[in-house]
């Protein structure tokens, strides 16, 4: 073994306030399942969490020569997980004046048409991943476009960044412009080819991705279900019950279905590791069905407010015991920041007379999302053996956040200050597998240097 790559050289420790969830929020008061080390140490070996605990206890036991990165005064939390976002829509974020269906026609489809160009797709993928990292997001479930090359571009960029990304070619064979249309058969074969190329490679996961029921024929949805049956372990992602006009349209297109959700269920697309964005206009039976199938509701508050779609009923989802996680849904959503997303989720719930605690919000964006996606054995918490993807949050990031933080008295208030006043400015650094992938005030890693060159 070469000098300098022995066990000590592979160990790095990060000192700061360490906060994460060690159990499930539903199992009891969130306070009981969270772990806080005010002067803590996160010990990383070979990109994995080796130990977590109080600095005073762990520092003396580090191997000689282990590097200690001092983030005293800052917080170390697991990397955020965005369970629903569109990488091909960065260019049209903040496009005003429309609700879902006209917004798709007017802004989204033309923007996605540009992804037929592989070079454009690669440039957009690099921009998108940099934006995730700048916001502390280390894992995401991502919609590209209908083009195979858009998936290749995203996965290639994610592989370079060593990020855990879930994605898959959009399936859309009707009710969309010709330039974005595939066929049931071409969608099936292209997805198959992409699954073989990317699924399970490094930290990449394939998702069979019918855009939403209106843009897929019965034949295409049938083949989508077949794809999932033929490739155990792939994800499914789509949209459901976002907008009232959309729900009415689905009822016309699929008159045999009990509900919008029922369309997906009939084709075998409602299952574990299937992520459905929005889930607003559902009834109790739908919610029970999502829970029974072990599927995931992605709550996308900034999008739901921006597009005037409606208010996600978090309490009803919880009562049904369905998995819930958060999504930014850029570019229906207006921010890549999961802190901003928690903030808007809080406000949506206020409008419904519900309360989102800061514990719940952080849980949804970290361990809750990992659990929902079946990745909790690798992500979402600092359990030893997990991948060392984490965010460094800075309570001094802005004058206002610092001022509020100085007057907080409890952990709940501190977390609440981050989520209500924080955004990308509060992310001092983002680490992927124990290496800096984004540093707010400077650039340290070769990977990050390449990206910002
Ligand atoms: N439903 C179908 N496509 C989309 C999309 O691109 N964004 C959102 N928010 N909803 C959709
Ligand atoms: Zn979406």
Q: Ligand 1: which residue has its CA nearest to atom 11?
A: 239
Q: Mind listing the pLDDT tens digit for each residue in 302-319?
A: 999 999 999 999 999 999
Q: Ligand 1: which residue has its CA nearest to atom 8?
A: 332
Using the atom order of ligand 1, give the atom closest to the CA of residue 303.
9
Please name which ligand lies nearest the alpha carbon of 302: 1
Q: Residues 2, 41, 376, 379: is their CA dihedral positive or negative?
A: negative
Question: What residue ranges define each of the domains in the chain, with the CATH number in brackets?
Answer: 11-78+382-449 (2.30.40.10), 80-336 (3.20.20.140)
Q: Mind listing the pLDDT tens digit for each residue in 31-82?
A: 568 999 999 999 999 999 999 999 999 999 999 999 999 999 999 999 999 9
Residue 442's pLDDT is what? Answer: 72
Q: Mind listing the pLDDT tens digit for each residue in 232-256?
A: 999 999 999 999 999 999 999 999 9
pTM exceeds 0.85: yes
Residue 29's pLDDT is what? Answer: 57
Using the atom order of ligand 1, give the atom closest to the CA of residue 86.
6
Mean per-residue pLDDT, 431-444: 88
Cα of 411 vs centre of ligand 2, distance in Å, is 33
CB-based pocket (< 6 A), ligand 1: 86, 100, 104, 108, 211-212, 239, 242, 303, 329, 332
């Amino acid at each position: 073994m070469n000098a300098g790559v022995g066990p000590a050289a592979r160990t790095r420790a990060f000192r700061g306030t360490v906060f994460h969830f060690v159990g499930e929020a539903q199992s009891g008061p969130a306070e009981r399942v969270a772990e806080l080390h005010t002067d803590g140490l996160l010990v990383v070996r070979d990109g994995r969490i080796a130990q977590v605990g109080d600095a005073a206890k762990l520092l003396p036991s580090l191997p000689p020569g282990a590097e200690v990165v001092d983030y005293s005064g800052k917080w170390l939390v697991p990397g955020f997980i965005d369970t629903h976002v569109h990488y091909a829509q960065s260019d049209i974020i903040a496009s005003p004046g429309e609700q879902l269906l006209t917004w798709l026609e007017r802004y989204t489809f033309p923007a996605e048409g540009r992804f037929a160009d592989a070079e454009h797709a690669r440039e957009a993928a690099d921009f998108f991943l940099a934006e995730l990292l700048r916001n502390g997001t280390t894992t995401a479930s991502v919609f590209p476009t209908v083009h195979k090359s858009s998936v290749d571009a995203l996965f290639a960029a994610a592989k370079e960044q060593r990020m855990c990304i879930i994605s898959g070619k959009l399936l859309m064979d009707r009710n969309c412009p010709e330039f974005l249309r595939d066929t049931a058969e071409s969608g099936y074969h292209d997805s198959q080819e992409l699954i073989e190329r990317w699924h399970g490679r490094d930290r990449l996961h394939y998702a069979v991705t019918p855009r939403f029921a209106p843009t897929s024929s019965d034949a295409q949805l049938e083949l989508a279900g077949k794809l999932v049956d033929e490739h155990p372990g792939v994800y499914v992602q789509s949209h459901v019950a976002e907008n009232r006009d959309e729900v009415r349209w689905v009822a016309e297109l699929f008159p045999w279905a009990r509900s919008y959700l029922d369309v997906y269920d009939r084709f075998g697309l409602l299952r574990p590791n299937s992520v459905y964005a929005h889930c607003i206009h559902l009834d109790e039976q739908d919610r029970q069905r999502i829970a029974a199938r072990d599927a995931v509701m992605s709550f996308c508050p900034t999008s739901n407010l921006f597009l005037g779609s409606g208010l996600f009923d978090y309490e009803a989802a919880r009562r049904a015991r369905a998995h819930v996680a958060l999504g930014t849904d850029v570019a229906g959503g207006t921010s890549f920041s999961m802190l901003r997303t928690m903030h808007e989720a809080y406000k949506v719930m206020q409008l419904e007379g519900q309360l989102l605690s800061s514990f719940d919000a952080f849980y949804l964006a970290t361990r809750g999302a990992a659990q929902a996606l079946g990745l909790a054995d690798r992500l979402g918490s600092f359990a030893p053996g997990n991948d060392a993807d984490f965010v460094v949050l800075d309570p001094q990031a802005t004058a206002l956040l610092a001022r509020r933080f100085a007057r907080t008295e409890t952990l709940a208030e501190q977390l609440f200050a981050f989520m209500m006043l924080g955004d990308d400015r509060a992310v001092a650094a983002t680490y992927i597998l124990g290496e800096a992938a984004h540093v707010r005030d400077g650039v340290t890693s070769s990977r990050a240097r390449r990206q910002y060159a």
